[in-house]
Structure formats: C-alpha cells, structure tokens
Chains A and B, each alone.
Chain A
Amino acid sequence: MAKRIDVESLNVYYSDFLAVQDASIKIAPLTVTAFIGPSGCGKSTFLRTLNRMHEVIPGGRVDGKVMLDGEDLYGPGVDPVNVRRTVGMVFQKANPFPTMSIYDNVIAGYKIAGTRKGRNELDDIVERSLRGANLWEEVKHRLNRPGAGLSGGQQQRLCIARAIAVEPQVLLMDEPCSALDPISTLAIEDLISELKTRYTIVIVTHNMQQAARVSDRTAFFNLAGVGQPGRLVEYDETTKIFSNPSEKATEDYISGRFG
C-alpha cells in the first residue's frame, strides 16, 4: 500500500521568491525519512510540496516533478484533493478542529470526503485510529468532549489519529514534537516506528537525536546565504549522515558548528 516518492529537480516558489532550488530525492516505501537543517532553509516548504499543500498559499507554485509510485503529482489531470487524501499531513502546531469533538475530529476526513459509513464502522475507525496514535486509553471516556480541550501532546496525537484514520499511503510530519514534553515525544517516536510498518513517513525535525532515533534516511537542507534559496545538500542513510557525512556543511551542522 505504501508508496514511494521520487522528486526530480524541484524548484519551489513563493510568488517570485525561490525558496527551494533544484531538490531531488528518492524516498523508498515503508521507510522513515528525516529532513533536518537550519531554520528557514525550506524544509517545511519542501515537505508541503509532497502533498500539494504548498499551492494553498497564495503565490505558492513549483516546477519540477514529484512522482508518487511513478505518477506525477503535478501532472495535468491530477486533482490536488485526491493527492491530499493519499498523502496525509501532521503539522508543527497541533490543529484539531476547535468546533469538533474528539470523535468528530478523528472521522473528519471521512466527513469531508462525504463517505457514508454506519455508526459501528465509524466507532471502529475511531478506536483503531486513536489506538494507533496511542491516545485511546486517555480519551476513550470523553470522546464527545471538544478536541481542543486536550493537552498539547494529546492534541498532537489526536491530529495523528485524524491523519491515519483515512489510511493514507504516505504521512508527512512537520516538527510534530516541537511543542511536546520528552514523554509525549517518546510516545510519538514509538508511534512513528509502528506506523512505519504501514506508511511511508517523512518527518521534519530540529532534534538530531530524534532524527537519529526514528529515521532510516536523513536529508540535510541548507541555505547558501541570506536571501539565497534553500538546497538539499546531502541525503543518505541516517547512520552515515550522523557518523560520516560526505559534505562539510552537514558535518558542521550536526556537530553544532553551524554558522
């Protein structure tokens, strides 16, 4: 089910501003890929091109190719809505729908798609997704309470549950743990390792240990200078990146000698 992603020389723009230049990357199915790099180098921007969320921003556009199992996401006749149903996303800031209950948040994807399902089936989906996100035990007694009433870490796991409820083939995560305590972070890292058996996962993180712990491969993005576009500098096995990177910039960054 999980799909592979091949990006070929992708340029990403905000109106006229080139944010990411000439990025190419091959992501194998059922792997975890980490994006690391200094702030503003275009990790989020690049990540959002993988499910066509980039073009939601006014002026956002790309040129180049993003292939999902050989099919160009930006090809003619491809509906971004279908792309986003296939490639799920979890954001840096937990964003449950404030007007919905925990239950409704989890099944939001089905409601949006207008999929008709019986109550029992929905109950199953909610339980399965919440268990998948390690949240079930904490919320099973208050599924009808507002999702926004949970703690930050719980909200983030709720968002993960919402993303996996619709069974995407790829899951993109933009700094999913940046606002979480070490325990929630660990819970989410464990979760990523579990989800890896079913989904292709791409995760942006500023936490080197996290990248080292959860990912199979790591991509290092960097900025050549202020006002310059971000570039994908190095992409390799995580162990290689963290032990013996080929690029000097990568080594400087991971050893904290950046800048």
Chain B
Amino acid sequence: MTEPDPLEEELRSAGAVADEQRRAAPAPTRGPADPPSSAAGGSGTVRSSISGQSVRRGDRVFKGLAAGSGAVLLVVMAAIAAFLVWKAWPALFAGDANKGNLFTTQKWSFSSEGPSNFGVAALAFGTIVSATIAMAIGVPVAIGIALYISHYAPRRLATVLGGLVDLLAAVPSLVFGMWGLYLLVPKTQGFQSWLNEYFSWTYIFDNTRFTNPNQYGQSLLMAGIVLAIMILPVVSAVCREVFLQTPRETVDAAWALGATKWETIRTAVLPFGRAGMISAAMLGLGRALGETIAVALLLSSAFKINGHLTEKAGDTFASTIALKFGEASGTPLGIPALITAGLFLFVITLIVNSIARAIIARKKDFTA
C-alpha cells in the first residue's frame, strides 16, 4: 500500500500525454505536404548561387524527431485508451452480472457467484468534490505565493521561499497523507464542528450525524484541504516563473500610467500570465484528480454521495483503485470495474484539459 499504484501512475501520465498530444498532433500530418528538399544544391548544371534548395540536415533530422515524438505520443495515448476500454469491457457491459447501473449506482460490491452491484456515481462525486475543494483553496493561495515571491519579497527572501516551495514538491504524497491523518484531522475537529455550528445553513458544512467535536475525522473536506496543500508547490512554481516573464516594458507602462503596485500586477502581470496560470492550475488539478494514497488515508470509504463535506464518507476513483485492488481479483468483475474507474478518470482528465485549452485559445490574439 505504500507504493504509488502503477496503474495510477500510468493514468496520470496519460493525462500529461493528452496535453502533449494536442500540440504535437499536427506535426506528422504536415510532413508529406513539404516540398522534397533533397537532390538540390548538387553541382554539374549551371546554377546561380541562390537557386535550388540547400540541404539542411539538422532541420530534417529535427523535424523527423519532432514528428516521430508526436506520433509516439499519439500511439501511446491511443494504446492507453484502447487498453482501458478492453480491460474494462466486462464491467462496462456487464448486463445482468451487475444489478446496479454503472453510472448511477452508489455501491461497490462484488460477488463471485451471484450478480455484483456497482456504479461509479459516488466515486465521480468524491473525485470531483475533493479536486474542486483542492483547486478552490490551493490555486488562489498558490497564485498569492507566486506573486509574493516574484513581485513583493526582497530578493534573498524570494530565493529562500522559492526553494522551500520546490522542496514541498518533493515530499512524497504518503507523507502528506499521514500528516493529514495524524495531525490535521485531530487538530481540526474543533474547526469542523465550528463550521457545522455556524455554517450549517450552507448545507455543505452541515453535519447531521455528529454531536461531539471528537467524532469528526476523515472527510472529503480534509482530503480536499490536504490536496490543496499538495498542489501548492507545482502551481505556485509554474505561476512564479510565468509572472517573472512579464515583459519589463509592459510593467513600466502600467507604472507610468500611475498604477500602484497592485494595479500594476492587475493590469500587466496577471493578464500576461493568464494562460500560464490556467496551465499551472491544470497541472495541479491533474495531481488532485489522480492522487491516490493521501486521499485513501483521509477518506473513510462509504460509496455514498454525501454533500455534507465533514461527514465520514467519500471515495475517489484513485483511492478506490488503490484500496480495492487486493480483494478485486477474487471476483470476475472486480478488476474490470476498477479499470472502468480508471477509464472514467482518464476521460474526466481529458475533458477538463480540453476545456482549459479552449479557454486559453479563446483569447489567443490577446496574448503577448
């Protein structure tokens, strides 16, 4: 259980592949359209020095490599998708073997003789909710850290802070999970019950079950908070680099119009970094969606959709795959069902990435 699940690793890299693929995809198709560039530049016939085409070996080699890498990515992508569909097939189309509905059933039970009863509804809910909490908390804080490091902190402090943030990125997720479970959860029982006391009208912070603070514990809220901390380093590191790239002239333009520091950041730095911030958020989201072990430690599995975020319930695709792998091989549909969960995670990642790309592309003319 301490090892990151290999399947999860694969899924996560698949997300990255999906990213790359869009950029690299046109490369191979452009190949044949190019005029042949060899057989020129030869001697013999009388030619002026500018006629013909010079052989640029470097160009051609590099183009070949680039196109090849693009193609490899496409193939890997397709292979992963095909593998997932193939292995998930028995669970996707289980027919009578699954009493539940794959999409709506909030259960995850398998039997070796009779029909099983499972669906991904609760997993999808938990995955999306925990990732949303993580993004809602993590991204603004990460952007704040990045802005502080890039534009406010004195240089030496900025270096130290930047190093610390990078260090945080190197902490294994298991450590985050244990920290969350053994420190954050017990220390925030009061906070969680306080939320219930004063914010139960929000529904999400309402807790209908617990009457005593020390009943509080593992919850989607806690998982979301720990995930927020886990995505901080990568999001803020990328944002910091993006903010530092803001052209000096653009910043000067804002200063010269009488902008205060914050106004300069608002008019010059943030708009310039918009696409970069979205990409950074996507990297964070990738981690939040795919995180396995920390989430597994911080959730108490119930396979129920429960909108009360502080109650003990919650499962994500990744945590379920990790937790249920051991017992899954005992039943015919156990493994296919887990792979179905992987497939759903894969599809969600793809959809979210596409949306992010579309948002970035929408204002393409207005980027530096």
**B256, A91: Cβ atoms under 8 Å?**
yes
Interface code B253-279, partner A: CB below 8 Å = 1, 0 otherwise?
111111110010001100110100000
Interface code A154-194, partner B: CB below 8 Å = 1, 0 otherwise?
00000100110010000000000000000000000000000
Tell me if B113 is interfacial: C-beta within 8 Å of chain A.
Answer: no
**B271, A84: Cβ atoms under 8 Å?**
no
Interface code A39-71, partner B: CB below 8 Å = 1, 0 otherwise?
000000000000101001010000000000000
Closest residue to B363 on the A side, CB-wise?
A99
Tell me if A246 is interfacial: C-beta within 8 Å of chain B.
Answer: no
Tell me if A206 is interfacial: C-beta within 8 Å of chain B.
Answer: no
Expressed in whole angstroms, the Cα–Cα distance for A140 and B324 within the complex equals: 64
**A99, B368: Cβ atoms under 8 Å?**
yes
* Residue total for B at the interface (Cβ-Cβ under 8 A): 24
**A-B contacts, CB under 8 A, total:** 82
Expressed in whole angstroms, the Cα–Cα distance for A51 and B267 within the complex equals: 20
Expressed in whole angstroms, the Cα–Cα distance for A58 and B153 within the complex equals: 12
Which residues of B sit under 8 angstroms from A149, Cβ to Cβ? 365
Expressed in whole angstroms, the Cα–Cα distance for A149 and B249 within the complex equals: 16
* Residue total for A at the interface (Cβ-Cβ under 8 A): 33
**A53, B367: Cβ atoms under 8 Å?**
no
Expressed in whole angstroms, the Cα–Cα distance for A125 and B293 within the complex equals: 58
Chain B residues proximal to chain A, CB less than 8 Å: 155, 247, 249-250, 252-260, 263, 267-268, 271-272, 274, 363, 365-368
**A to B CB contacts below 8 Å, 30 in the list:** A53-B256, A56-B252, A56-B255, A83-B258, A84-B256, A84-B257, A84-B259, A85-B258, A88-B257, A91-B249, A91-B253, A91-B256, A95-B250, A95-B252, A97-B254, A98-B367, A98-B368, A99-B274, A99-B366, A99-B367, A109-B257, A109-B258, A112-B259, A145-B365, A146-B365, A162-B253, A162-B257, A163-B256, A163-B257, A166-B258
Chain A residues proximal to chain B, CB less than 8 Å: 51, 53, 56, 58, 81-85, 88-89, 91, 93, 95-101, 108-109, 111-113, 145-146, 148-149, 159, 162-163, 166
